[in-house]
Amino acid sequence: MSDEILKMNDVVKTYIMGEEEQVVLKGIDLLINRGDFLSVLGPSGSGKSTLMNIIGCLDVPTSGTYYLSGERICDLPEADLSHIRNREIGFIFQQFQLLQRLSAQKNVELPLIYAGVPEKERQQRSAHILERVGLADKMKNRPNQLSGGQQQRVAIARALVTEPTILLADEPTGALDQQTGHQIINLFKELNEEGKTIVMITHDADVAKNGSRIVRIVDGNLSEGVYNA
């Protein structure tokens, strides 16, 4: 089985703004292998959010090709993209995106509900993954009963529970204090050592350097960075 799980060739994304065409991504080439911990580093307005949306199948390129797990993404209908998002991508957001009325465990179960997993299996899998991220004693707590770091761990557990191909993290430490942010990054490193493929979007060079590989995006152009030891 090939180690290549994501490949983009000459990906362009344009938007029509009034009568003008705005080119946000300018011929992106990107290859991600199984087990990579890739940091995508770029300032605000660089195109990194648009790139993240395309990686996460929330949007499609205007031109170019994108393959995920060997499947061509560009021409798929929304129903297929939704299925791929649920199966292939584990999303982790800056603001956690947890449902306040649900317990930590019920939040983690949500992707499994969408995937049609039976209740007993959902409970077992969600409990196991919450234990993995250090929250075995917080499963019944609602988000407002948890610290920011604990809420992000719930979000990571929710992303992991479907056993996705890629964990896609958007500024995952942006809403956290420095110490808690370090703890979340260390959890990412542990997960990567266990074989998880991680793509982390960030504007912070100090956060980016925790990845094993860095690419930089500026004005819609992507350049290969360094491999960290």
Q: Which residues contact 180 (CB under 8 A, 6 or more apart)?
A: 147, 148, 149, 152, 173
134: left (phi over 0), alpha (psi -120 to 50) or beta: left
Rounded to two decimals, the pTM is 0.91
What average pLDDT score do residues 208-223 get? 94
Domains and CATH numbers, the chain: 36-60+88-227 (3.40.50.300)
Question: What pLDDT does residue 229 have?
Answer: 43
Q: H-helix or E-strand containing 148?
A: helix 148-160
What average pLDDT score do residues 218-229 get? 75
